[in-house]
Chain A
Amino acid sequence: GAVVSQHPSRVICKSGTSVKIECRSLDFQATTMFWYRQFPKQSLMLMATSNEGSKATYEQGVEKDKFLINHASLTLSTLTVTSAHPEDSSFYICSARWGEKLFFGSGTQLSVL
């Protein structure tokens, strides 16, 4: 089956630093990738939709200057959390669309100290 690789799985950083999370589709080309944020015991909140070669579309309330998304190729999308604050601590999950199916990465637990 299709595989989406997300790295790192866990990252701890200091407040004010930037963190980059990578999402790769390993065996298929994903024209669309999605980034979600999941708070403890809550559902996935769609942050942005990323299409290869174009600017990401952010959901209402998501700061595009804080959460930078780059979809440079059909197999790679990155999310950079800039000037991270403790309230940015969360579980971030990427997903890649292939036809009618959505495949998920294993998630990144971000902890900002």
Chain B
Amino acid sequence: AQSVTQLGSHVSVSEGALVLLRCNYSSSVPPYLFWYVQYPNQGLQLLLKYTTGATLVKGINGFEAEFKKSETSFHLTKPSAHMSDAAEYFCAVTLYNFNKFYFGSGTKLNVKP
């Protein structure tokens, strides 16, 4: 079975500071990993994904994530936070057949001016 754990339900950073949102996964087979962002009362938008190949993946809005198999992690980072980054972020895992996506509990990012 697959599962995702996001450490920290709330993260607060100052504008311009580094953003680090943590995601650890559990999977018996090589996983496909995703980060999504959700703004209030909206659906989710894909930020980035890892399936195969390069372990450092770049997404939209300056976000990137690195797949570390040894640490079973897929942390999301952004060098410099912007006020518009304030939202809730979800890490998700699926298998090669994309039959089911499992989401973490989410991390709400607050960006202080």
Contact = CB atoms under 8 A, between A and B. Distances in A.
Interface string B54-83: 000000000000000000000000000000
Interface stretch (A11-19, A63-71, A78-86, A105-113): A105-113
Given A104-B43, A105-B43, 15 more contacts: A9-B41, A42-B105, A42-B106, A43-B90, A43-B106, A93-B43, A93-B44, A95-B43, A97-B98, A100-B49, A100-B98, A101-B49, A104-B36, A106-B41, A106-B43
Interface of A is mostly: strand
29 contacts: A32-B99, A34-B100, A34-B101, A36-B103, A41-B9, A42-B105, A43-B90, A43-B104, A44-B103, A46-B100, A46-B101, A46-B102, A46-B103, A91-B41, A95-B43, A95-B101, A100-B32, A101-B46, A101-B49, A102-B101, A103-B46, A104-B43, A104-B44, A104-B45, A105-B43, A107-B41, A107-B42, A107-B43, A109-B41
